Structure 1
């Protein structure tokens, strides 16, 4: 089960990145062109939101079943950069990113002006993406197996 979740979490990350990039660029285009925000734009924003939430749920489960996650939490592990990344930095940063992305989507739903709705998605999804990119364990992505 652990290996399957780990692989799912790793491969779903690509979908998250693609969905966020698509949503961000779509929002930027709508914002710059001053287009009205229509239902199609809301659905495009969901392409960034849904995979991100799914990834977060899988990551949360993985955090508790992985030997690198909560089971590894100790004072000694905090002194090791790789252990600290998996125990604290990666999960905490991803939670913040998911919160930002969710807030951006929720704000966009409540706002009335199309330009402000696009800007909300662009800014909050963009900040979320920057946080995600800052704490992806890149050494695991590019490790030779």
Structure 2
């Protein structure tokens, strides 16, 4: 079951990246063209928010059942070992922070009455959340994850 969750977590990563790009495109359109905060834009932001919440829930399940995390949390060398520190602290903290930022962006945008204000409020939080997500993914081009596959289990 753990392997299935890991594959789902990895697959959902790609879906979220696509959805975040869709959200950024909608932000650009909304800010440039003065689009309404409805239809495609609203769907992009809401579906992205939902996908990120599902991803965080799966990630929390993996975090609390991971042998690497258990080993890292019980190790006195965790902070000096970049691999253990990444899995025990950086990845989980970054992803939860990104989810919180995106949730705040959605909530603040929902409360605004003017569409321009809605796009402005959501822009900062979604883009900052996206940057944090990209920075805390274990990409295979990073030296410590060079043995990882771009599409594990697929």
Q: TM-score, normalised by structure 2?
A: 0.86
Structure possessing the higher relative contact order (Cα contacts under 8 Å, 6 or more residues apart):
1
Say whether residues 1:11 and 2:11 are aligned partners.
Answer: yes
Q: CA RMSD in A?
A: 1.8
Alpha carbons of structure 1 residues 141 and 52: separation in structure 2 relative to 1, 3 Å: farther
Say whether residues 1:84 and 2:89 are aligned partners.
Answer: no
Counterpart in 2 of 1:44?
A: 44
Alignment deviations for residues 42-100 of structure 1 (CA, whole Å, 9 cap, x no partner): 22211211111110000000001111224531222222101110000010011110000
Counterpart in 2 of 1:123?
A: 124
Between the aligned partners of 2:97 and 2:146, the Cα distance in structure 1 is 22
Q: Contact (CA 8 Å) 2:72, 2:78: kept in 1 or not?
A: yes
What is the SS of the residue equivalent to 2:124? helix
Between the aligned partners of 2:147 and 2:129, the Cα distance in structure 1 is 22
Number of equivalences:
145
Q: Contact (CA 8 Å) 1:62, 1:69: kept in 2 or not?
A: no
Between the aligned partners of 2:117 and 2:147, the Cα distance in structure 1 is 38
Gap runs ≥5 in structure 1: none
Alpha carbons of structure 1 residues 96 and 141: separation in structure 2 relative to 1, 3 Å: farther
What is the SS of the residue equivalent to 1:68? helix
Between the aligned partners of 1:84 and 1:107, the Cα distance in structure 2 is 33
